[in-house]
Chain A
Amino acid sequence: MNPQHKTGDVILAAENISLSFGGVKALTDISLDVREHELLSIIGPNGAGKSSMLNVINGVYHPQQGQVTWRGKPRGAIHPHEAARMGIARTFQNIALFKGMSVLDNIMTGRNLKMHANFLQQALWWGRAQREEMAQREKVEQIIDFLEIQAIRKTPVGRLPYGLQKRVELARAIAAEPTLLLLDEPMAGMNVEEKQDMCRFILDINDAFGTTIVLIEHDMGVVMDISDRVIVLDYGKKIGDGTPHDVRNNPDVIAAYLGTRH
């Protein structure tokens, strides 16, 4: 369904990543690469290490072994804010919005890296501070239109239903205009209609802005439908990597999902 020729060079490569928490091995010797413009899904049973992998990619977790290469250069142990500066944005499995702020302010916060006024200019609401605020507001309004959340822009996010919160979190992530967007179960807990909307947005972001997307999702229908490539994790190990078609017919993957192994 998705043409393979759209994908470009490898922008991120994880090499032999191992991560453990005390005695729990979250990831064991995982290597994977992410190619520019592709929509890559990571699937696997609960506790397989999917979220941990995203946390390694954007510097929240630091693996005990292995390294991550960004655009051909090894990265070392970086902070999440440095990953953001490289152009990596994400959403969280458990919604991580700024509860005390409105939808608009949450999305504006997503653009903080585009704003450079110092605090004195901001205190005086003067020059650059004011110009930036207006310019960024305009961009944020485009995102609000794109994700069809005009009606709730002034609502405190805590008052929104779950599905809309997920959408606002997506808005905040794309506000940074990332090169690589990591989505951790953006459709979990949604009804069919909300899922369809979310799929449409994800595909649009991928198509219209060329944003590379790594998606974690449990709904196999969705994954097989929209992904260019699928990686399968199980008990912290990679057991499959290929097109949706390949992965669906991979005996290891079938076994993992039917629970005949282990």
Chain B
Amino acid sequence: MFYREAGQFKTSYAADSAILPIRQDRIFIIALLLFAFVAVPGLASDYLLSGILIPFLVLSLAALGLNLLTGYAGQLSLGSAAFMAVGAYATYNFMLRVPGMPLLLALVLGGLSAALVGVLFGLPSLRIKGFYLAVATLAAQFLVEWVFTKFPWFSNDSSSGVISSPVLSVFGITLDTPAEKYLLTLAIVALMALAAKNMVRSSLGRAWMAIRDMDVAAEVIGIRMLRTKLLAFAISSFYCGVAGALYAFVFLGTVDAQAFDLNRSFQILFMIIIGGVGSILGAFLGAAFIVLLPVLLNLAGQLLHGAVSSQFMSNLEMMIFGALIIFFLAVEPLGLARLWQISKEKLRLWPFPH
């Protein structure tokens, strides 16, 4: 009833292919962005900003990157954390070794370094698919972790590859409060999400989906397999690389290569499985879910006044994840984003059954 496009007639193709064709969606997103940019920094506690919102945004960005590659282009990857690590270590070194290097430029260069590594490990995708490709990206995972631990040059000779955040400043403003760091992260993530949405609704996104859905037909239509797949690896890894740098310097402050281990790659893969494979919104929903679940379980544990051990709670967390992943893989492969869409469709008809 309230969520209807009745009376909203599209009079041009431009209006029909607008980023959010339905007015209610537009209003919702604008309100959400206003709230996130204006209200949240003032209202939210430092814990909420640094402990929940920043990691949520950063991991959403990584999930977005993986979703472009796996959800849209259909190339399964278990190397997301490796590309995050490359982004983090490259950004660190650009800041360290190039005097006067601005943070934003270093982030872009870090992202580009990750893109380069992504392309390299994407090369096997021309020959292999699915499970076997995932194994090939696993090689990236182990190799990258090993390189950053083994060669102290990358971490400026610190022990066991630990790197610490440089001074974060943007346009001369030093970011030291959680609210400032949050705003930087939010701005970057919002812009990159918009860019991702634009790519997937234009010919590049269609080429990716075409390869995913039916690769022979895609080639017969004139899509170049090599270029399109490698571009997916490059762009996806760029997103992961920027996310990795933000994760290292804006969220944690100090990290070593183990912060980007295989578990992290799986965590990001689970985000897109739960949130929705092949959906921009899904990356955010999945990240929100995975960041919030332990927090909520923790709260529940406190409410029970230690009646259950923290050990039990963390086991419970694993069980819930496991169950949900099986549920989404088996029952609703398009994840929370699809459930959201279905409820919107219901809402459109409500209160009439049809």
User: Footprint of B on A, CB under 8 Å?
Assistant: 58, 60, 79-81, 83-85, 89-90, 92, 96-101, 105, 108-110, 112-113, 115, 117, 119, 122-125, 129, 132-134, 137-138, 141, 172, 176
Known: A98-B212, A113-B222, A117-B202. 7 other contacts (CB 8 A): A80-B220, A85-B222, A92-B217, A99-B214, A112-B206, A115-B203, A119-B231
Residues of B in contact with A, size category: 20 to 34
Q: Which of B2-43 contact A (CB under 8 A)?
A: 13-14, 16-17, 19
Tell me whether A98 and B202 are in contact (CB under 8 A): no
> B222-259 vs A: 1/0 string, CB under 8 Å?
11110000010001000000000000000000000000
- How many Å lie between the Cα of A117 and that of B202 in the bound state? 10
Tell me whether B203 and A117 are in contact (CB under 8 A): yes
- How many Å lie between the Cα of A119 and that of B220 in the bound state? 21
Known A96-B217, A105-B209; judge A122-B203 contact (CB<8 A).
yes
**B234 shortest CB reach to chain A, Å:** 9
Between B198, B220, B224, the greatest number of chain A beta carbons within 10 A of the residue's beta carbon is seen for B220
Tell me whether B17 and A176 are in contact (CB under 8 A): no
Tell me whether A137 and B17 are in contact (CB under 8 A): yes
When C-beta atoms are compared, the residue in chain B nearest to A58 turns out to be: B220
- How many Å lie between the Cα of A137 and that of B15 in the bound state? 12
Let me know if B79 is at the binding interface, CB within 8 A.
no
Chain B neighbourhood of A105, CB < 8 A = 206, 209
Tell me whether B214 and A123 are in contact (CB under 8 A): no
Tell me whether B14 and A134 are in contact (CB under 8 A): yes
Chain B neighbourhood of A60, CB < 8 A = 216, 220
Tell me whether A110 and B13 are in contact (CB under 8 A): no
Chain B neighbourhood of A122, CB < 8 A = 198-199, 202-205
User: Footprint of A on B, CB under 8 Å?
Assistant: 13-14, 16-17, 19, 195-196, 198-199, 202-207, 209-210, 212-214, 216-225, 231, 235, 278
User: Which among A83, A108, A141 is the interface contact of B220 at CB below 8 angstroms?
Assistant: A83
User: Which among B202, B216, B218, B225 is the interface contact of A133 at CB below 8 angstroms?
Assistant: B202
18 inter-chain pairs at a CB distance below 8 angstroms, sorted by A residue, are: A80-B216, A81-B225, A83-B220, A92-B217, A96-B217, A97-B213, A101-B206, A108-B203, A108-B206, A109-B218, A110-B221, A117-B203, A122-B202, A122-B203, A133-B17, A133-B202, A134-B17, A138-B13
Tell me whether A124 and B195 are in contact (CB under 8 A): yes
User: Which among A97, A110, A119 is the interface contact of B199 at CB below 8 angstroms?
Assistant: A119
Tell me whether A81 and B223 are in contact (CB under 8 A): yes
**B224 shortest CB reach to chain A, Å:** 5
- How many Å lie between the Cα of A84 and that of B220 in the bound state? 6
- How many Å lie between the Cα of A110 and that of B203 in the bound state? 10
- How many Å lie between the Cα of A112 and that of B216 in the bound state? 15
Chain A neighbourhood of B204, CB < 8 A = 119, 122
**B337 shortest CB reach to chain A, Å:** 13
- How many Å lie between the Cα of A7 and that of B231 in the bound state? 43
Chain B neighbourhood of A119, CB < 8 A = 199, 204, 231, 235
